[in-house]
Structure 1
Amino acid sequence: MSFEPLVSDFYDYASLLSDEEQAALARLRAHLETAVKPVVNEHWQSATMPEGIMPGLASTGVFGFAWEETKPFENSAVFRGFVALELARVDASVATLVGVQNGLAMGSISVTGSPEQRAEWLPRMAAGEVVGAFGLTEPLSGSDSAQGLRTVATRDGDEWVLNGSKRWIGNATVSDITVIWAKDAADGQVKGFIVPTSTPGYSATKIQGKQSLRIVQNADITLEDVRVPESLRLQGANSFRDTAKVLRLTRAEVAWAAVGNSIGAYEAALRYAKERVQFGKPIAGHQLIQDLLVKSMGNITASLGMVVRVSQMLDDGTQRDEHSALAKAFTTARMRETVAWCREVLGGNGIVLDYDVARHFADAEALYSYEGTREMNTLIVGRSLTGAAAFV
């Protein structure tokens, strides 16, 4: 299957990928176009998750690309970024489903799990046999998770007893396991646990009324005397610094998803502009429409250059927290501008699902806020620039 560069990849950054990476990306794009894109508006409208979507995505290898135990071939962080871009270009909710499974849940196990835990869980998750979720955010603790985590883990012999609550946990109503982060009652340090969702005392309730990422099944989780064995404690997760190692990897991919969401809106607006006739010609031939499209392309191209470089730094081992933080803050802000301009191209048609732009417009708001708000990421970069922490 041949790989065709996106019209929105104006500087052809995809040419940096190997032939094998381009072929894998082409297979993923074909699956998304034929099996996912035709149903996303329907499921976005009904706030439901398409049946069979996880096994279908697993068949493309998308859940295993990043981890040693499951990756089908040697691949780069730039390639994995393009995977996130392709997913979000079709639908940001689908990109989030994959990000939670592949980056947050599998990433927690890969980065902080023991060899035995990685061998047990990662292949099954890569195959789509086990769906994972990531439980960090709480009702009263979001940006201050490092300090304000209230979920408590108490050691009781060979078991741990978890009590607390989580909020905004993606995939949680459909997951088989959830990685729960809790403070150890003994030492106050944050630790991670693989919690089967069938465990007594664990419950997940879908959050209703969302106006963004409506396909994602976000939930409130309640943990009441949930007992998990020591064998399900992530053996390499002993403080929030270990949690941050996972977030460092996934934050950059959220930046890539923001670029993909911008591209999805841009491509829909460009297509519409070529087809919509006003004043006797397609509106693509009007100066003001071209201005909106060119400004959108400028944002996309600048953002794409930034995330490519951040991913190259990840491959080189030189990426730091402030690098991914700047990328996430910048690309999501530019995404907000871009989807608004693309909605403007469509006029009144920009607020209905039929033309796709409305969905990308609404989903941008969630991407802008999750995995670190613009403000928090700005403060991470500001601390790096000035040497002074200004979080409070």
Structure 2
Amino acid sequence: MSSEAFKQEPTLTSMFQAIDRIDTQFPHGYNDLKAVVIGGGTGAPVSIRTLLSMGIQTSAVVAMADDGGSTGILRAEAKVTPPGDIRKCLAAFAENPDDPFTKAFKYRFEFARNHTLGNLMLSALEEATGSFPEAVKICGKLLGSKGRVYPSTLNNVVLNARTLDGRTLHGQATACKSETALDTVWLESAGQPMPYVEAIRAIYDADFIVLGPGSLFTSIIPNLLVPGIPEAIERSKAKTIFVCSLADQQGETWGLSAIEHVDALRRHGIGRNLDYVLIHSAEKIAPRPPLQDSFEAIAGSGALASAHQENREGKPLSANIRSVEVTYEDIQKIQQDGTVVLVRNMVDPQRPTWHYPPALARAFADVFRLNTPSSGA
């Protein structure tokens, strides 16, 4: 049997090895805290695994707009609910990552149209039970899941986007590969999408709501576009934490600064309901004059020409990595509405586009301490 035919995605394997190296001691009182992670399939699992490692009771609300790869094929040909991002979050909740079933659940078969076993199982169980939530629940039990995963909606939705240079893109897979930064996204469906009631309940029950990390416009924001989700966040007692991306490797947020990430969230439903923003910086942020050579989001003829030039030179946008810019002045602007910004060095030393779980855990702990009465109080 060829092991090359059975591959696991690196985002579900190697990035989680750092979880076992978290050496920060967290108070046992954290076991009473509840957190819900809102996002997609790549960044959200990092927060899920990190929070679980801290003893936090964790659940996840997941975007349902994925239409690329294996999920896209299943949506188009089998008319199923998109399983991909749900599968990745389920894998993150698995009790034992080395369990044979858990490893098999994450296998991707290049010889079978690049499908994953997890996607096929979720779709087959949806057909067998007549219920996607029931399919998710069954897979969770098989994985020994340490938390629940909820779709943000069960409606058939398509994500559309408008770029900063005015183009309209159809579909999540197309939007996330945009050559220029996105400005606005919206959901298209046969009728108004309805929020999944268990997702709403998880938001109401949480002490902390964690947005991200992950793709801003195609993983995090699609959840906020479901009517009822932003309202639940607003009414919840929970404190809301946004984990800002630390580097750009794809076009949808290409060149956007940290404050532009926050502004996009606020425009797309989060409004003033943002209590904390975690931003990466390897250096201390101090007041400084504006940088003349800072990279701006690709928009307009000049910047768009620059993007095309990079492609002509054989350096597509996806091959470049740029840190998300953050300045002292932008931090002050973000905090004007009462949002607290915490700047920490959170980059994975081996993977410059990924958050390092031990560092992310320490940043979460700082937020929890700000909201937990001290023992001497």
TM-score (norm 1): 0.27
* Structure 1 or 2: more helix by fraction: 1
